[in-house]
Amino acid sequence: MSNRVALVTGASRGIGRATALALCRAGFDVVAASTTIESNSEFAAEMQSAGSFLALNLDLKSPESIKECFARALKEKGRVDVLVNNAGITRDGLAVRMKAADWDAVLRTNLDGAFLCIQQVLPGMMRNRWGRIINLSSVVGQAGGAGQVNYSASKAGLIGLSKSLAQELGSRGITVNVVAPGYIATDMTKDLPEERKQKILSAIPLERIGTPEDIASAVKFLAGDEASYITGQVLAVNGGMYM
């Protein structure tokens, strides 16, 4: 069998970028999907040095964009063996004042988008009787987070979705697992006030902020043959912040 094909959403930066690189270096043929990634020359240069990859534009809010992206991936690569649903957005705000548009945007991208991506790869995985689906949740999907009801709901939804899918797909040789990052140094977290960062740090037993590579290592493990008897699980990579 030729190298396994892994498609990573939200691959242009942060956790997605680290994951795409880690899988590339591990010998996977990586399809990196994200908004406007095809014109990202810096990303292309970094990936080329790591291994085999294909960059495809993907807008998770658009079912048409999702279908088009996966159709192109399947045409170019023949199959998708591993799907990493990493892409996500935040629109934080207190529930009492949250606009319907902010609720809808987060749920549509983080939960609906992930589900529609899964639907695109299932026929091929079921036919091949092998597959890995890895959904990126969050510590706030497990423990909640004030001011993040939409984001928490979307990430908790991914956990329930994954456990149900694991039960549906186990007999077809497809595993479905969740990686739940804690506080990770990315573009999404860098703008938090210093006081908030210090408060978060004080709640982490390992006394450090996580890196995108910490998460990428967990995803790489679940994508490989070593994890073939693991399904329906939530692997929390959070430094002990939530146990």
Q: What residues are labeled active site?
A: 151
DSSP classification of residue 172: G
Pairing of strands 131-136, 82-85: parallel
Beta strands in 150-203 (DSSP E): 174-181
Q: What are phi and psi of 124, to 5 degrees?
A: -70, -45
- Three-class DSSP labels, 198-242: HHHHHCCCCCCCECHHHHHHHHHHHHCHHHCCCCCCEEEECCCCC
Give start and end residues of each alpha helix (H) in 108-148: 113-128, 139-143
Which tokens belong to 94? 């207190």
Residue 71 main-chain phi, psi, to 5 deg? -60, -40
Distances (CA, A) of 40 to 1, 6, 204, 209: 31, 19, 35, 28
For 134, the enclosing helix (H) or strand (E) is strand 131-136
